[in-house]
Amino acid sequence: MPQYRRAYTPGGTVFLTLVTYNRDPIFANSQNIVYLRSAVAAMRSEMPFEITAAVILPDHLHFLWTLPPNDRDYSKRVGRLKVLFTRSLRGRQALPQRVSLSRRKHRESNVWQRRFWEHTIADELDLANHFDYLHYNPVKHGLVQFPHQWQYSSFYRCVQRGIYDRDWGCRCDGKQPDGLAIEGVNMGE
């Protein structure tokens, strides 16, 4: 079995992908996004860091996190985030049922995939590429036609900071095209 070693850089910026178990679209339910945001806030109060960018899609999340100068432990934060979010579902009796023996043995539920994907940002070009990837991801997955239409993203915060123009990746002049409807997703700003 291959041995995977993660790169840990004190004060580094890391791109993360967390995926739900069996790609279950648990974040299609907007209340679960509220629980996720609460879990992120609780985890950040325990272990501070900066969320540089983020997007929440129905079955996975992408983050760019920048750690404090003498801290390199993003894995601990990811684990804590998963635990806090899962507990919020458990407390509301909303956990998926039929947990396998293997997952029970590892004290896991059917909320998250066991592992997560990470990439340590190497330089400014790498950071810019991951910013673009993250913010264009809802379009890539066919959830919207233009990045500004997806409300569960840091896109508008990046527009406010001057990182993007509001019409970045857009050919609609800021207008929502006719016929675009995503069930359960508020497309307004």
Active site positions, annotated: 152
If we measure between CA atoms, which residue out of 105, 108, 100 comes closest to residue 82? Answer: 108
Question: Are 36 and 30 a contacting pair, CB within 8 Å?
Answer: no
d(CA 32, CA 38): 10
Residue 176 identity: Q
Give Cβ neighbours of residue 75 (< 8 Å, ≥ 6 apart). Answer: 6, 8
Tokens 């990746």 found at: 169
Give Cβ neighbours of residue 57 (< 8 Å, ≥ 6 apart). Answer: 27, 137, 138, 141, 143, 152
Question: Are 174 and 155 a contacting pair, CB within 8 Å?
Answer: no
d(CA 113, CA 61): 12
Determine the length of the chain.
189
